[in-house]
Structures are given as structure tokens and as C-alpha cells.
Amino acid sequence: MKIVLSVHTAYPDFIGGREHHVHFLASELARTDEVVVIAGGKSRKEQRRSMRGYTLVTLPMISIKVSTNPLQIYRIIPKFLSCLKQESPDILHVFEYGSYSTDITYFYAKKYKIPFLLNVYGYQFNKLFLKLSKKLYEQTIGKRLLKDASKIFFSSKTQQDEMLSIIKDGQIKNKMMLQENSIRVDDYKNIAPNPDLARKYRTIDGVILLAVVRLLPRKGIKYLVDALHKIKNKSNTENIRLLIVGPDCGEQANLKRLVQMYGLTSSVIFIGAVAPNEVKDFLSVCDIFVLPSLYEGLPLALLEAMASGRAVIFSDLNCAKKIIQNGVNGLLVPPADSSALAQAIVRLAHDKNLRQDLGTNAEKSIKGNNSYHEAQALRCEYGKALKRYQAKTSAGIG
């Protein structure tokens, strides 16, 4: 079976949760099937690369900035359709509702009667014209795409409700399936400390906080900075240092101004985007992983931190309750509550044994979120979709 995964940006050219997810899945699916990932790339020329068992094809694209805060870019990939024809897949799996790559793949699948499955990650718009554009899309292409998809995967109830609100007659409910994000768990076991990072950032009796995020408002990093300010006002924070790893998506300038205003420039360090394999190096030297998101599906960065045996602090969101038992394998705090976040940080900073216990329990509890199991479930869904399409073709339907 030849599987093509369609996504508008992919690892290693771009770093993010979706890119990681597709990479992990592709490498697992490639154990038994031919897998090709087609995406937009940073090069002006088409590139074909051999990855971890699968083939990555990246195409030149046109990027249109539609919003600066948060940074939102619409990507047009002119050669996407011709590349799909060249690959001639048996089954198509598209990632992200509402993207150019998904729409082109849908029309290709419809024309050539190829089953396709959809992963929804969810997105939020602040600007009025973007909200109106989204509504227009939902009533045109969006409805058709959702009706024709063989399976629709979501990772949170928020995403499920959003898709069900587009088609209110229940036509898609029976083909929607919860698919929680997953990682290659074994990649994060027994990570050796990176000596260069340890020398650079660790101090005697110091505590290192780590946040791995795309810098945009919904990640709640301003509340983390505010929490450190509250701690500073009550005690000495010279021994607490925060490393923020991830690309700027329109929020970095605001955060840097806040850090400077609070006098935290020596305590908060913006690392910027790093390659996925380098994230493990930062996890190896941190004591506490913090992600104060206001909205999430199930963030891969959180799973990676738990798999590496780190103590984690996360927002008390619906997705969190599935994997974190407060006080057992992590700490949960109300979203947008910098005071509660400050208390959680101080609690873990002063209790090394608790950090170790939470980290050990986190590592044990995350085994179910292994991309190996997700790939097995996907193969089953691919087989069902192929059989349904073959039956339709034999009956002359569609």
C-alpha cells in the first residue's frame, strides 16, 4: 500500500507540533508500507529526501502573511497537484482542516476516487476578516471536505465540537474518531545531559525551567513571565532561570518588553527555534517543564517532557485530565492564573524529591501515547477506507 501524507509544512524545514506529529507517524507507518510526505518547503526548488524510512517531497511555495499577532501565514504550493499525480497513492491522509494542501488533496482524491482521511488540529482567529473568511470557507469547501472524508481525527473535544458545528445534521459524527497526539516514546528515554548546555545555563543550586512553545498568545507565556515576577517580589529568583525554546509567531516582542519591565532579563532567556533533536538536549538540563497554555489539543512538547522523566506544570485543561493526575505525575494550574503558576513553580523548586517522583510517574504514564500504537490503528483505518471505496467502485457509486 502506498500512503501519501499531505501537509502544508513539514519537518525538518519547519518546527511545530503538527510537523513533529507527521514525522513520527510517517516513520512508524514506513515500517510496513511505502510512505511519502508532500509539503511546502523553504527551498526554491523541489527537493526529494530520504527520511526515517519514508520519502519527503518538499515543493516551492508562496507565503502570504494574513496576520502579524499571532503570526498567521497562508501557504500556496503551485506544484502540489502535479506532485500528487506523480506519486499515484493508494490512500491519502491530510493534516489540517482549512489549508491549501488539504483542499488540493481533497479535489485530487475526489476526481480520482481515492480514499482520504483528515486530521484536525484546530485554529483560532482574532481578526474579523479572518473570522468571516473562515465562515465562508466552512459553508463551501469545508462542508464538502468533511462529508467526503473517510475518517476525521481530532485530539480534543473542542476540535470535535468545532467540526460538528459546521455540519449540524450529524452526517459526520459517526466517522469522527479521537486520536490523541503521540510521540516515539523510546526516543526520550534516558537522555544524557548535554554538558555544553549545562555549563552555559546551570548554576550551583539553581533550578532551570523550560518552555518549548511557538510564541503566540494562546500559549500563555506572559502568565509564566508574570509568575516569575511575583516570585521575585517575594524572594530571590537568582536561582530560578527560564529557558524559552521555540519560534516567534508574533508574540516575542511583547514578551521581551514584559521581561525587561519586570527586570527579569537575566532570568528569562529566549533561545529561539531549534531542531527537534536539540529539544532533547534542553530537556536533559531542565528541572521543570512548564506549559501554561490557554487552549490546547494535546501538545507534543508536553508528551516529550513527560517521556523524558521531567516534572511538568501544565494548565488544567480538558486535554490535561486524560494524561495528568494532579500531584501524581505532574501539577495542574488554572489557565491564565499567574499566582497559582508561581505557587506551583516555588513548590517544585524547593522540593527535589517531589520533582523526581513526578518525573518518574510521568515517564511511566506516557507509554500509551506511543506513535507505534497510533500507526497500528491508522493502518486498520486505511484498510477499512480502501475496502469501502473498492465496494463503491464495484457497485458504480460515487
pLDDT in tens, 269-283: 999 988 878 999 999
Residue 305 has pLDDT above 60, yes or no: yes
Higher pLDDT among residues 12 and 68, named by residue? 12
Q: Which of 296, 300, 305, 355 is nearest to 327 (CA)?
A: 355
CA distances to 94, 107, 166 from 161, rounded to whole Å, are: 20, 25, 9
Residue 142 has pLDDT above 90, yes or no: yes
Q: Average pLDDT for residues 40-49, to the nearest whole number?
A: 96
Return the biggest CA–CA distance within the chain.
74
Instruction: Tell me what pLDDT residue 108 has.
Output: 97
Q: Average pLDDT for residues 366-387, to the nearest whole number?
A: 91
C-alpha cell at 171: 452526517
C-alpha cell at 293: 497554555
Residue 139 has pLDDT above 80, yes or no: yes
Instruction: Tell me what pLDDT residue 5 has.
Output: 98
From the candidate CATH numbers 1.10.10.10, 1.10.510.10, 3.40.50.2000, 3.40.630.30, the one assigned to the domain spanning 185-368 = 3.40.50.2000
Given a contact cutoff of 8 angstroms between Cβ atoms, the answer to whether 313 and 351 are in contact is no
CATH 3.40.50.2000 fits 2-182+370-395, yes or no: yes
Rounded CA-CA distance 96/138 in Å is 14
Residue 69 has pLDDT above 80, yes or no: no
Q: Average pLDDT for residues 223-233, to the nearest whole number?
A: 94
The structure's pTM equals 0.84
Residue 219 has pLDDT above 70, yes or no: yes
Instruction: Tell me what pLDDT residue 66 has.
Output: 83
Residue 368 has pLDDT above 90, yes or no: no
What DSSP line would sit under 59-116, residue for residue? Answer: E--EEEEEEETTEEEEEE-TTHHHHHHHH--SEEEEESTT-HHHHHHHHHHHHHT--E
* Cis peptide bond prior to 70, omega within 30° of 0: yes
Identify the helix (H) or strand (E) that includes residue 395.
helix 371-395
- pLDDT band, very low/low/confident/very high, at 397 (cuts 50, 70, 90): low
Instruction: Tell me what pLDDT residue 236 has.
Output: 56
Q: Average pLDDT for residues 367-371, to the nearest whole number?
A: 85
pLDDT mean across residues, the chain = 91
Bridge partners (DSSP) of residue 286 are none
Other C-beta atoms closer than 10 Å to the C-beta of 305 total: 32
Instruction: Locate the domains of the chain by residue range.
Output: 2-182+370-395, 185-368
Instruction: Tell me what pLDDT residue 104 has.
Output: 97
Instruction: Tell me what pLDDT residue 251 has.
Output: 93
Residue 70 has pLDDT above 90, yes or no: no
Instruction: Tell me what pLDDT residue 123 has.
Output: 63
CA distances to 17, 152, 289 from 286, rounded to whole Å, are: 20, 37, 7
Same fold, 2-182+370-395 and 185-368: yes
Q: Which of 328, 307, 304, 296 is nearest to 157 (CA)?
A: 296
- The residues, ordered by sequence, that sit 6+ positions from 190 with a Cβ below 8 Å of its Cβ are none
Of 34-38, 152-156, 379-383, the least confident: 152-156
Rounded CA-CA distance 266/119 in Å is 41
